[in-house]
């Protein structure tokens, strides 16, 4: 039975719901570690006061101490902890590493049976923890031992959910090998283990590499747990990498040593003159008052502060996923430590992996946070899509206009807009040179063309990326003349870097560019058709020619903005252009036209007979009823939903990627737009 479903996505992050026997929790999820014998803050208080949903405790500690073991065996782990919410238990792997215990200390099968017998919601296998600094050969042995234990443990789980931990140390190839083997065993949760020593040594780039390598091969429909990730400054980046569960004992460990956790790092109480946050603890006391408390009382207040901050950050992460702003939050948090910022760069080096999961067609602004912004996957994907789909590649004159793209081009350059609307692309192509790359005039409103908000002074990395993307675009355009329009804008500076390679002419100001455009007697075409052909090509890889050739084809413009609003055939609306994304949504009749145009199977999703009737009536297409979906389908794309006989049932927006649709057995796969009935 499927227990995990996705409600929203951002990057590889999943805003989801996970069902356990003691309740359904929202992900990303942070579980405070609760020691069965040191309940300074009770599990009930963790939920009711701080807002946590689930806790984690250690089955090895419970089993090894009679006073805990007897109660747990009699009343269950929920009775032991006096808590009726979801509980996950660890197996003792970290204790064996930390205390250097012999292998015989914990029997891997007995600890599974014990977790099952005390009624834990999610148990964990006893994996082999690799010590930092050991060679690849030893880590390989640990990976193999973990796999052998996992294979033996899976049959002992019974009705208990079981977590199978991926190991591999700092070696990505071993992480991949471990993930491939563990994925075949069909665990319910997949922790990525062995990272606590890396966190303690600020080796965040190694953690990113370990997660990326593991995620490549783990099931899409199972939560990923980053074991021991307890510091709030890492939550956003870890979630962006696709981690769904976190656990934290840091709130207590840091408190015992007089440290206060913040989303931006850690501070020592002894170094403070003012308390640095707005939580109930910091708002109701002072540094002097805290320092004047007895050790036990001070530790408890610091624990509470750390819990408030951690709980607040995980909620902030979930909201950022919903808003499509998690990348921005992660970039800001990365400034908390140089190695965390380096880890962020490592993540961006794997943008291709992120782009496979990141939904398209967002509508949110993308604020500049630093030199990394121009490298974001959303801009890289747009650039590649323009290169692969732009239809007007042969022209007499290409006009390049440097611009910051902070305002709609049609608003700031109305005279240019009027002229290009009257011209044929075989005569004139206009493209804007922006910090995100080249934006052809026809795609000026397509996300993220004008959602990137950059400063008026650009850093060298952004300018370098602008040059590279300009070169890429110029290489696909066959133009008799290329004219650069000099303007007082940051991207104007790249002219000297590309002028010689492409024999670019130079004019001073948009007025001069307009004069050059007017020298060509152009056979005009309807500007709406020109734009729509580019959007159809960008969005679905088709020209739309059959549609445009219809005698009854017409376009309705917005009275307020003058932009394209609807594409019609007679009185029948076929497509609506969404003003916030610049992309088209097809009606049912529009979906039929897309099929007639020969739209790629990438955009066609097949459902089974049990679902067909519901989709036909305008209901959501659920993941468990999906029969076919392209491995290339991205979340956010507009798709056609068909039955087993390839008859069109409706149109909708994909909430999941194609591979996710085929793996998940719970939740919505496609939200409906229009249906047959």
Q: Which residues are catalytic?
A: 90
For the record, the structure tokens of 134 come out as 């050991």
Q: What is the chain's length? A: 677
User: CB under 8 Å to 288, separation ≥6 — which residues?
Assistant: none
Q: Is 370 exposed, middle or buried (0-12, 13-18, 19+ CB in 10 A)?
A: middle
Phi, psi (degrees; rounded to nearest 5) at 293:
-80, 160
* Three-class secondary structure of residue 117 per DSSP: helix
Dihedral through CA 99, CA 100, CA 101, CA 102, nearest 10? 180
Q: What is the C-alpha separation between 454 and 441, in angstroms, rounded?
A: 20
Pairing type for strands 366-367 and 452-453 reads parallel
The b-or-e profile of 619-640 (16+ CB within 10 A means b, else e) is ebbbbbbbebbbeebbbbbbbb
Q: Is 511 exposed, middle or buried (0-12, 13-18, 19+ CB in 10 A)?
A: exposed
Beta strands across the sheet bearing 190-192: 29-32, 245-248, 224-226, 190-192
Q: Is 443 exposed, middle or buried (0-12, 13-18, 19+ CB in 10 A)?
A: buried
Asked if residue 290 lies in contact with residue 267, where contact means CB atoms within 8 angstroms, the answer is no
Q: Is 278 exposed, middle or buried (0-12, 13-18, 19+ CB in 10 A)?
A: exposed
Q: What is the C-alpha separation between 242 and 358, in angstroms, rounded?
A: 11
User: CB under 8 Å to 645, separation ≥6 — which residues?
Assistant: none
For the record, the structure tokens of 567 come out as 């594409």
**Cis check: omega of the bond before 28, within 30 degrees of 0:** yes
Please state the separation of Cα 333 from the chain's center in Å.
16
Asked if residue 197 lies in contact with residue 163, where contact means CB atoms within 8 angstroms, the answer is no
Asked if residue 165 lies in contact with residue 130, where contact means CB atoms within 8 angstroms, the answer is no
User: According to DSSP H, which parts of 201-294 are helical?
Assistant: 204-215, 232-240, 250-256, 280-284, 287-291
End-to-end CA, the chain: 31
Q: State the CB neighbour count (10 A cutoff) for residue 590.
A: 25
Q: Is 13 exposed, middle or buried (0-12, 13-18, 19+ CB in 10 A)?
A: buried
Phi, psi (degrees; rounded to nearest 5) at 323:
-85, -5
**Cis check: omega of the bond before 295, within 30 degrees of 0:** no
Q: State the CB neighbour count (10 A cutoff) for residue 417.
A: 18
According to DSSP, the residues that pair with 268 across neighbouring strands are: 259
Asked if residue 214 lies in contact with residue 179, where contact means CB atoms within 8 angstroms, the answer is yes
Which helix (DSSP H) or strand (DSSP E) does residue 613 occupy? helix 609-616
Residue listed under structure tokens 């979801």: 86
């Amino acid at each position: 039975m499927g227990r995990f479903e996705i409600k929203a996505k951002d990057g590889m992050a999943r805003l989801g719901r996970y069902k356990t026997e003691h309740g359904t929790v929202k992900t990303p999820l942070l579980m405070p570690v609760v020691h069965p014998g040191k309940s300074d803050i009770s599990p009930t208080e963790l939920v009711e006061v701080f807002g946590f949903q689930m806790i984690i405790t250690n089955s090895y500690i419970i089993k090894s101490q009679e006073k805990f073991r007897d109660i747990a065996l009699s009343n269950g782990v929920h009775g032991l902890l006096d808590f009726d919410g979801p509980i996950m238990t660890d197996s003792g792997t970290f204790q064996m590493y930390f205390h250097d215990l012999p292998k015989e200390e914990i029997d891997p099968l007995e600890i599974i049976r014990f977790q099952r017998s005390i009624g834990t919601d999610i148990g964990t296998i006893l994996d082999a923890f690799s010590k930092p600094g050991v060679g690849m050969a030893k880590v390989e042995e640990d990976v193999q031992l973990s796999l052998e234990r996992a294979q033996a443990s899976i049959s002992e789980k019974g009705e208990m959910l079981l977590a199978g931990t991926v190991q591999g140390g700092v070696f990505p190839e071993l992480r991949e090998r471990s993930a491939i083997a563990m994925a075949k065993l069909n665990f319910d949760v997949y922790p990525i283990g062995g990272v606590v020593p890396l966190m303690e040594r600020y080796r965040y780039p190694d953690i990113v590499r370990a997660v990326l390598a593991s995620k490549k091969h783990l099931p899409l429909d199972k939560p990923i747990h980053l074991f021991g990730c307890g510091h709030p400054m890492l939550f956003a980046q870890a979630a962006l990498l696709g981690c769904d569960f976190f656990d934290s004992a840091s709130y207590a460990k840091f408190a015992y040593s007089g440290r206060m956790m913040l989303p931006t790092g850690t501070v020592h109480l002894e170094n403070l003159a003012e308390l640095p946050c707005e939580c109930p603890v910091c708002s109701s006391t002072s540094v002097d008052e805290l320092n004047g408390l007895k050790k036990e009382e001070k530790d408890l207040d610091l624990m509470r502060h750390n819990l408030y901050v951690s709980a607040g950050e995980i909620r902030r992460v979930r909201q950022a996923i919903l808003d499509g702003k998690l990348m921005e939050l992660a970039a800001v948090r990365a400034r908390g430590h140089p190695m965390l910022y380096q880890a962020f760069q490592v993540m961006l080096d794997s943008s291709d992996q992120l782009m496979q999961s990141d939904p398209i067609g967002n509508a949110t602004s993308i604020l500049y946070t630093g030199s990394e912004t121009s490298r974001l996957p959303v801009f890289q994907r747009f650039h590649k899509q323009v290169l692969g789909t732009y239809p007007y590649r042969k022209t007499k004159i290409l006009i390049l206009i440097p611009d910051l793209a902070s305002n709609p081009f049609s608003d700031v350059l109305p005279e240019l807009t009027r002229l290009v609307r009257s011209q044929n692309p075989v005569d004139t192509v206009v493209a804007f040179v922006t910090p995100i790359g080249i934006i052809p005039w026809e795609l000026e409103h397509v996300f993220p063309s004008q959602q990137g908000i950059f400063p008026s002074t650009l850093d060298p990395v952004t300018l370098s990326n602008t040059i590279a993307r300009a070169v890429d675009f110029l290489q696909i355009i066959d133009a008799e003349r290329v004219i650069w329009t000099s303007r007082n804008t940051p991207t104007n500076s790249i002219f000297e870097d590309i002028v010689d390679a492409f024999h670019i002419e130079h004019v001073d100001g948009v007025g001069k560019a307009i004069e050059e455009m007017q020298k060509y007697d152009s056979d005009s075409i309807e500007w709406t058709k020109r734009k729509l052909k580019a959007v159809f090509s960008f969005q679905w890889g088709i020209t739309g020619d059959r549609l445009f050739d219809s005698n009854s084809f017409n376009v309705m413009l917005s009275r307020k903005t003058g932009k394209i609003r609807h594409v019609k055939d007679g009185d029948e609306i076929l497509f609506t252009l969404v003003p916030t994304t610049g992309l088209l949504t097809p009606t049912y009749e529009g979906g039929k036209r897309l099929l007639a145009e020969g739209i790629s199977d990438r955009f066609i999703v097949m459902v089974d007979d049990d679902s067909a009737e519901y989709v036909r009536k305008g209901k959501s297409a659920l993941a468990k009823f999906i029969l076919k979906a392209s491995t290339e389908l991205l979340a956010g794309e507009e798709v056609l939903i068909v039955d087993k006989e390839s008859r069109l049932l409706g149109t909708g927006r994909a909430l999941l990627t194609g591979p996710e649709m085929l793996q998940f057995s719970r939740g919505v796969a496609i939200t409906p737009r229009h249906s047959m009935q």
